[in-house]
Every structure is written in C-alpha cells, then in structure tokens.
C-alpha cells in the first residue's frame, strides 16, 4: 500500500520528514523500499520552505531487509512486498499522527492507494502548478483514499510524491534532534563535515568551504539536526559515523529527487511565471547592481527580452553576471518570478563570448586636440574651452581582454535549490572560482 503525506509543518517548527520518520519507527507494518522525500515545484507561492512531500510503501515485507535508520531500534526496509495490507487500516493508523503533529496554519493531506497515480502527476507537481480539484479527480478515478485538513492543499503534494518514478535519484540521510533540544543551538563540529566531504565524493552539498559553513545543518528551529546527501547508501551510513555532533534521536535514509533538475522545463514556447526554465539567451546589456546586493542582466530570447537576476545570497556567483557582456551566448537555468518578472538564476552555461570593446581613453577635441571631459554616464564628452560636444562613441576603444571562460557556473552550496543538479552530479566542474 502506498501512503503519502504533505503540508504538516510551518516556519515555526516541525518537518514533514520527521513526522514520517516517527511514523516509520512506530508502525505496525513493514516498510517496502526506502521512504521517499520528493521535492516539488520550488516556485509554488504557498510552500513553507523547500516544497518537500513524503511517500512510502508499506505492507508485509519479503526478501532480505536492509538497515536504513535507527530510533530505539534499527529501522529496516524490505526489497519486496509479500502481502498487501488494507487501505482503510493504513489510513486509520496514519490519520491520528497527522492530526497530532500538524502545525497551526498548515493544510495537511494524506493519500493512501494500492496503485500509484499516473507519472504525469509527478512531472506536473515538479514543474507546474496544480489545482486541488484536478488532483482529487485523478485520485477518485483510481479509487485512492484521501484526507485533507485545513483547505486540504497537502493532497496535491502527497499525490505528486506518490506518483514519482525515479529517473534520476539521490539519497539523503536525515538525522533528527532529541525533542528536548528543539529550538536550541545545534552542536556540530564543522571540521568533521569538512573531512566527510573530502573522504566521500559520493556525497554532495555538504559544506561551504570558503566560510566553513556546514550546509548539512539547517538554521531553522525544525527538528532536523543534519542531512547528508549522496548517491550511495553504505557511504552515507559510514559518513554519518564521522560526524562529531549531539546524539541524534532518530536518523533515517530517504530516496529523493533532490539534485535532479527535474523541475526544469527546457526551451518552452511560452514562459509562465512560477516555473523554472532552461533558456538559450543572448546577453543584451551589461550587468547592473541593485540595492540589497542583487545583480541583474538583460538577455534576449528571440524577440523577447528578459531580466536575469543573481540575488544577494548567491554571493560570488553574482560576479559571473558582472563579467558577462552584450552578445555573450548563455543557457540560463532559473525560476521565472511573477513580480518582478525576472529569471532567478540557479545555474548558467556560458556557451560563447562576444568580442567586446572597452574605452581606451577620452576622445580628443577636433579643434584644440586636448582630451575632452565626460559629461556623465552615456552622455558623451565636452571640450569646455572650445564648446565642442562629442558623442559617447567618439572615444577610442580597445578589444576587451575577457576574464570569463566558457563553461558551467553555479551558486555556492548554501544558496542552491534542493532540486538543482549540482555540477558534481553532472560530471562538470566550474572553470573559474570567483573570490
């Protein structure tokens, strides 16, 4: 039987992954396969944090069980379903957990079904915006059980998570704090995270080395102590042992679509806000720095011109935009915001660099031969004694020595999206490191 849950938490506390982990450690069923942490469209306006939904399969397990976590006892999952359990029994068991742990203002949804919803639901959930009605119609058509609290919006995320058939997948080992420590400062020795990162190349997004910031540890008051992301279960289990940290209460490994780029729509005919795209663009203006530390460039896609933004939290990634020049060809991956309508960049492929010119000197006055003075940005030059005005283009130019090289560029670890595929998972390396 498949069970999926979403939207139980708020910004002030809890975490749906913790609820699922707790349910797993106490459930009267066997876990079949790994529990799943499925990230959905990061641009949905009503997400709490990372738009994650949870799904798992349960029943009576068959085959050799595997250790995937621990609470008071080891948590095991089975490779096969030996006997099915009843949907009513699963819903009856799951409901009290959700009701007890749901946070004020959340809109939980629980879905229980013998079969998975069609795969298109996952892709729509990861890339598009779905209505509760269209999702419940699909669920009713397949005879699934569903329950919503509040406005029941959580049914959308739960159904999409259940519909996921991994094309690309990663793992995350999530460790949770003991309840009495929730809200207090977390203890985690960052140097052990640095060592873990160096020793286990199958893990990713562990640490921001430049600032020695452990990206595995959240800064919110949620129950999560840390989350190690990687490709390989045995590596995650031994990497966990390296960390010097407070004792986790529960830990568990989830199968996930994190780091897959599944949210990215490639070169669409039409651009709608609140979706993420990969667009082939030609830069049409030099960058400008905005208040708050954001950097913007304009770029063209056919006849349409778009603003692309690297926001302050993306730190040195903003230097990429500062080094781009009109005529450069790029592929930009990012979320299209509604207001302001900007493409919020997550990753950029610099494909080719244009010849660009830089001013070599101020132009000379054609009457007296002395260097004319600038009258302001873009406003040209003036020789005051001769009262001669010269246009901006009169200044002699040189070919610019470009500091950029073609290749893929991404923001630092701490400002990456859960769904963004890091370059290390793409077999790519950023050709330049910005300081």
Residues forming the site for ligand ATP (CB under 6 A) = 6-7, 9, 15-16, 40-41, 44, 46-52, 106-107, 125, 128-130, 153-154, 156-157
Please provide residue 346's backbone torsions phi and psi, each rounded to the nearest 5 degrees.
-110, -25
215 or 320: CB nearest ligand ATP: 215
Nearest CA among 411, 215, 396 for reference residue 311: 411
120 or 210: CB nearest ligand ATP: 120
61 or 227: CB nearest ligand ATP: 227
Tokens of 409: 């560029």
The CB-of-208 to ligand ATP minimum distance in angstroms stands at: 21
Which residue's Cβ has the minimum distance to ligand ATP? 157
Query: What is the 8-class DSSP label of residue 2?
Result: E
Question: 158 with 95: CB under 8 angstroms?
Answer: no
The CB-of-52 to ligand ATP minimum distance in angstroms stands at: 4
12 or 84: CB nearest ligand ATP: 12
Question: 169 with 191: CB under 8 angstroms?
Answer: no
The CB-of-431 to ligand ATP minimum distance in angstroms stands at: 33
- 230-259 burial, b for 16+ CB within 10 Å, e for fewer? bbebebbbebbebbebbebbbbbbbbbbbb
Question: 279 with 342: CB under 8 angstroms?
Answer: no
The CB-of-392 to ligand ATP minimum distance in angstroms stands at: 47
Question: 332 with 278: CB under 8 angstroms?
Answer: yes
Is residue 36 helix, strand or coil? strand
The CB-of-264 to ligand ATP minimum distance in angstroms stands at: 14
- Measure the CA–CA gap between 110 and 89, rounded to whole angstroms: 13
34 or 102: CB nearest ligand ATP: 102
The CB-of-421 to ligand ATP minimum distance in angstroms stands at: 19
123 or 408: CB nearest ligand ATP: 123
Largest distance between two CA atoms of the chain = 96
């Amino acid at each position: 039987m498949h069970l999926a849950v979403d939207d139980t938490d708020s910004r002030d506390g809890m975490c749906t992954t913790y609820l699922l982990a707790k349910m797993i450690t106490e459930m009267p069923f066997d876990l079949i396969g790994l529990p799943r942490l499925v990230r959905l469209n990061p641009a949905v306006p009503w997400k709490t944090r990372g738009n994650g939904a949870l799904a798992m399969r349960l029943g009576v397990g068959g085959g050799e069980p595997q250790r995937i976590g621990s609470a008071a006892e080891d948590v095991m999952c089975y490779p096969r379903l030996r006997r099915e359990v009843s949907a009513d029994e699963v819903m009856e068991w799951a409901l009290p957990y959700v009701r007890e742990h749901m946070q004020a203002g959340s809109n939980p949804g629980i879905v229980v079904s013998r079969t998975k919803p069609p795969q298109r639901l996952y892709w729509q959930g990861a890339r598009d915006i779905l209505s509760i009605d269209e999702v419940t119609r699909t669920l009713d058509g397949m005879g699934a059980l569903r329950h919503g609290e509040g406005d029941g919006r959580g049914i959308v995320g739960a159904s999409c998570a259940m519909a996921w058939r991994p094309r690309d997948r990663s793992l995350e080992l999530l460790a949770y704090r003991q309840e009495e420590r929730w809200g207090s400062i977390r203890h985690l020795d960052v140097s052990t995270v640095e060592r873990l990162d160096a020793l286990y190349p199958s893990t990713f997004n562990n640490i921001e080395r430049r600032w020695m910031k452990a990206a595995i540890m959240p800064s919110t008051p949620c129950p999560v102590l840390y989350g190690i992301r990687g490709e390989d279960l045995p590596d995650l289990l031994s990497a966990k042992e390296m960390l010097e940290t407070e004792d986790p209460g529960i830990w568990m490994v989830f199968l996930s679509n994190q780091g897959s780029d599944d949210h990215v729509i490639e070169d669409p005919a039409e651009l709608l806000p609140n979706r993420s795209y990969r667009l082939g663009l030609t830069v049409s203006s030099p960058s400008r720095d905005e208040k708050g530390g954001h950097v913007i460039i304009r770029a063209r896609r056919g006849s349409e011109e778009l603003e692309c933004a690297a926001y302050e939290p993306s730190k040195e990634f903003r230097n990429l935009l500062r080094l781009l020049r009109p005529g450069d060809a790029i592929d930009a991956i990012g979320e299209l915001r509604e207001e302001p309508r900007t493409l919020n960049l997550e990753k950029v492929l610099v494909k080719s660099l244009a010849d660009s010119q830089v001013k070599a000197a101020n132009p000379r006055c054609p009457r007296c031969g002395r260097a004319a003075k600038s009258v302001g940005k873009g406003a040209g030059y003036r020789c005051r004694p001769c009262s001669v005005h010269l246009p901006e283009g009169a200044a002699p130019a040189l070919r610019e020595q470009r500091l950029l090289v073609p290749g893929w560029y991404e923001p630092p670890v701490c400002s990456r999206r859960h769904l963004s595929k890091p370059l290390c998972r793409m077999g790519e390396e950023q050709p330049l490191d910005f300081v």
